[in-house]
Copies of this chain bind each other. A is one copy, B any other.
Amino acid sequence: MSDTTKKGDGTTKEQQPRRRQARGERRIAQLLHAAARVFCTTGYTAASTNAIAREAGVSPGTLYQFFPNKEAIAIELGDRLMHEMREAYGEALAPVDPATPLEEAIGSAVDWFMAFNTDHPVFFALMHGPDIPGRMAEAHEQLHTTVVGRIEALLASLMPGAAPADVTRTAHVCLGIYKAGLELVLAHEGAERAAYIRETKDVLIRYLEPLVGDRLGRA
CA distance A177 to B207 in the complex (A): 11
**With an 8 A cutoff between CB atoms, is A29 at the interface?**
no
**With an 8 A cutoff between CB atoms, is A46 at the interface?**
yes
The secondary-structure label for the interface of chain A is: helix
CA distance A141 to B107 in the complex (A): 31
Q: What B residues does A192 contact at CB under 8 A?
A: 169
Known: A129-B130, A130-B131, A131-B131. A203 touches B173 (CB 8 A): yes
Residues of A within 8 A of B (CB): 43, 45-46, 125, 128-131, 169-170, 172-173, 176-177, 179-181, 183-184, 192, 195-196, 199-200, 202-203, 206-207, 209-210
What 9 pairs across the A-B complex have the smallest Cβ distances? A176-B180, A180-B180, A206-B206, A43-B130, A173-B199, A203-B207, A176-B184, A206-B207, A129-B130
Mind listing 14 A-B residue pairs with CB under 8 Å?
A43-B131, A46-B131, A125-B130, A130-B130, A131-B131, A169-B199, A173-B180, A173-B181, A173-B200, A176-B180, A177-B177, A177-B180, A177-B203, A206-B207
Q: 18 additional contacts, CB 8 Å, given A128-B130, A169-B195, A203-B207?
A: A43-B130, A43-B131, A45-B45, A45-B46, A46-B131, A125-B130, A129-B130, A169-B196, A169-B199, A172-B196, A173-B196, A173-B200, A177-B177, A202-B207, A203-B203, A206-B209, A206-B210, A207-B207
